[in-house]
Amino acid sequence: MRTINFISHIKQENPDKNYYYFLLLLPVLLFTFWAYTPALDNHFLSWDDQYYVTNNPYIQQPTLESLKTLTNQVVSLNYHPLTMMSLWANAKLTGTLSASPFIWTNVLLHMANTAFAFLLTYKLSERKWLVALATAALFGLHPMHIESVAWISERKDVLYTFFFLASMYSYTQYTSDSKWQYLALSFLLFAASCLSKAMAVALVPALFLIDLIKHRNLKNTSVYIEKIPFALLALLIGSIALSVQGGGDFYGLLSLSENTAAISMDVSFLDRIKNAAFANYYYLKNFLLSTSFSAYHPYSLADSLSPFFTGLTAMVLLASILLAYLKKEYHLLFSLGFYLATIGLVLQLIPVGSAVVAERYTYLPYLGLGYGVGHLLERLSRSLGTYLPSIGLMVISSVMGYTTYQQADIWQDHISLFGQAADQYPEDPFIRKTLASGYWKEGKLDSAQHHIQYAIDNLGLTTSPAFELLANCYADKGESRKAMAFFNEAVRIDSHNITARYHRGLELLKYDPAKAIEDFNYCANASNEYVRSLVYGPRGRAYGLQGEYNLALSDLNQAIRRHPNDVNGYLDRAVTYERLSKKELAYADYLKVLSLDADNTYAKERLDILHIDNL
């Protein structure tokens, strides 16, 4: 009864002077935070996190020079400098040993986005608290959003959405009082959103949807002229995105951190339509009932439903949008139109990657659908004269929050995440290979070898990375002959596989340093910045084994500059200094080794010998 009286009091107040609605947002934010608490102690994943954080030298060494480099660097086939700068700031403030601070930042951004969802829809709905509450609750608690929040590599999702919603809010304010400052601020926020993720170009049609809700005259040319800067920026960002997704550097203006291009599926036009229709059905269905979570959904999933059924779903959606426009049901039009505008670019009409759908793609689009649900509940509440719709919202939110709480913990580590994916798609070779990679990095070599061998023998996965992973398993087991056979096969299939050449070089270093140097030299000339940064240490060691001490010293100095906390660099340089009869410098490096590894027996022995020699 207290809740009903409180809400009644809110409804009776002058909406222009009423700030009680903020209290309605508070429990939503608290429940959203609770739902993501299992994710706060999650670990880095071996799935893009290596490109963004763990293997990225500019994040691992967050200097001002690194920050400058990140402003024009393509990372994981995306140009999103603000996203990378935010990760740089995380690394600068808290280091990179733990994933927790990075995930905390994602969760806090998600909570801010949830608050923005409330404020924006409260304004768009003409201060209907139930509409705003429903939109915020469904946005904050929906389990399909876990991928965008719990995955560090999806910092771009939560960050671009923050600026996207802020831009929409500022533009909505502009439509109310026509102050150009709000339009200018909206554009600046749009630019920030675009520099966080290229998907932000969907803001342009979203602005027209706001115009319709605010009953602006679309026959007035000023409505279009004011959006020209938005459209031009969207075209520029779209052009950059197409270039970098294809492995390009946008006419030489950007630098590449990897030498790869997006996986482009050879899909016919009719299959593209079929896949897009399926993806739309999948996203709509999972908005209503989220089941069968997986970090990866292969194209074969699209064959699980009749194209007639998924095509009919798409036609109903388009017809509903048209009917809403003709009937001037602009709130419904905003709901469905916003969903379609923000999901349309990832429906695989232009196929990129090997997944037909991805849960992270729903992060912003579901705000539109949540807005529609909010209006439905508000109308039911008014027509029935009851608070049952509000109670229903509480029940739905509770179920979603509990599901999110459970699924967030699945993102605990790589093995847990892709173990779930393998349970759902046991015969998918990509999932088997990715799971095997996680086991290998955890040192669980038998499990890693089992999954990658199964993918090669039974699922037809005969790619260069697959044989490289199998070779790494044998190398770590000490079976050098088998390891070299599979490394050679990996390089034969793809001579440009830099990581295969690097790992083969490490294996050759054990018995043929001259051959190892050949592989390391190839890697040193590659565009993969991370592998380039790793080459100096082992190549320096190889030069030392060859007796080329000056070359060894040059490489080891580079290795230490790039990885100042790596014990092996100082140890190898100390040995090299001894060979060059620079005992004082060797002594200093052995001391540095002990400061990093107090139990290093070799460094202790050499220090004792050098000390005696100096007496």
Distance CA 213, CA 220 (A): 16
Pair 81, 70: CB distance under 8 Å: yes
- Give the pLDDT confidence of 432-473 residue by residue, as tens digits: 999 999 999 999 999 999 999 999 999 999 999 999 999 999
Neighbours of 401 (CB within 10 A): 21
- Give the pLDDT confidence of 475-496 residue by residue, as tens digits: 999 999 999 999 999 999 999 9
* DSSP string of 102-113, one letter each residue: HHHHHHHHHHHH
Res 387: pLDDT: 84
| Whether pLDDT at 172 is above 90 | yes
Instruction: Look at the block and give the residue holding tokens 């771009």.
Output: 156
- Give the pLDDT confidence of 78-90 residue by residue, as tens digits: 999 999 999 999 9
| Whether pLDDT at 9 is above 60 | no
Q: Which of 8-17, 54-63, 416-425 has the lowest mean pLDDT?
A: 8-17
Instruction: Give the pairing type, strands 355-357 and 297-298.
Output: antiparallel
Exposure class string for 269-300: b at 16+ Cβ within 10 A, else e? eebbbbbbbbbbbbbbebbeebeebbbbbbbe
The encoded tokens of residue 410 equal: 């699945």
Distance CA 279, CA 48 (A): 23
Q: Stretch 507-524: mean pLDDT, rounded? A: 95
Res 82: pLDDT: 98
Q: Which of 102-111, 526-535, 554-563 has the lowest mean pLDDT?
A: 526-535
Q: Helices in 180-227 by DSSP H: which ranges?
A: 180-194, 203-213, 222-225
Distance CA 73, CA 67 (A): 10
pTM: 0.91
Q: Stretch 342-368: mean pLDDT, rounded? A: 92
* Nearest in space to 581 (alpha carbons), one of 615, 546, 553: 553
Pair 152, 45: CB distance under 8 Å: yes
| Whether pLDDT at 5 is above 60 | no
- Residue predicted with more confidence, 273 or 350: 273
Label residue 400 by pLDDT band (50, 70, 90): very high
Listed in sequence order, the residues at least 6 apart from 179 whose beta carbon sits closer than 8 Å to its beta carbon are 173
Label residue 3 by pLDDT band (50, 70, 90): very low
At residue 558, what is the residue type? Q
Res 106: pLDDT: 98
Looking at the chain, the number of H-run helices and the number of E-run strands are 31, 4
Label residue 614 by pLDDT band (50, 70, 90): low
Res 304: pLDDT: 87
Res 6: pLDDT: 43
- Give the pLDDT confidence of 277-297 residue by residue, as tens digits: 999 999 999 999 998 899 999
Listed in sequence order, the residues at least 6 apart from 586 whose beta carbon sits closer than 8 Å to its beta carbon are 574, 575, 577, 578, 606, 610
| Backbone phi, psi, residue 95, to 5° | 80, -175
Say how many residues make up the chain.
Answer: 615
Q: Stretch 203-207: mean pLDDT, rounded? A: 97
Label residue 13 by pLDDT band (50, 70, 90): very low
Label residue 309 by pLDDT band (50, 70, 90): very high
Res 10: pLDDT: 45
User: Would you give the DSSP letter of residue 61?
Assistant: S
Res 183: pLDDT: 97
Average pLDDT, whole number, for the chain?
Answer: 92
Res 7: pLDDT: 46
- Give the pLDDT confidence of 326-340 residue by residue, as tens digits: 999 999 999 999 999
Enclosing H/E stretch for 500:
helix 498-508
- Give the pLDDT confidence of 109-142 residue by residue, as tens digits: 999 999 999 999 999 998 899 999 999 999 999 9
Label residue 264 by pLDDT band (50, 70, 90): low
- Residue predicted with more confidence, 361 or 613: 361
Calculate the dihedral angle through the C-alpha atoms of 179, 184, 189, 191, rounding to the nearest 10 degrees: 160
Q: Which three-class secondary structure state does DSSP give residue 497?
A: coil
Q: Which of 20-29, 205-214, 327-336 has the lowest mean pLDDT?
A: 20-29
Specify the CATH architecture of the domain 415-614.
Alpha Horseshoe (1.25)
Res 266: pLDDT: 73
| Whether pLDDT at 258 is above 80 | no
| Whether pLDDT at 574 is above 80 | yes
The encoded tokens of residue 68 equal: 């400058």
- Give the pLDDT confidence of 539-548 residue by residue, as tens digits: 999 999 999 9
Domain ranges of the chain: 36-400, 415-614
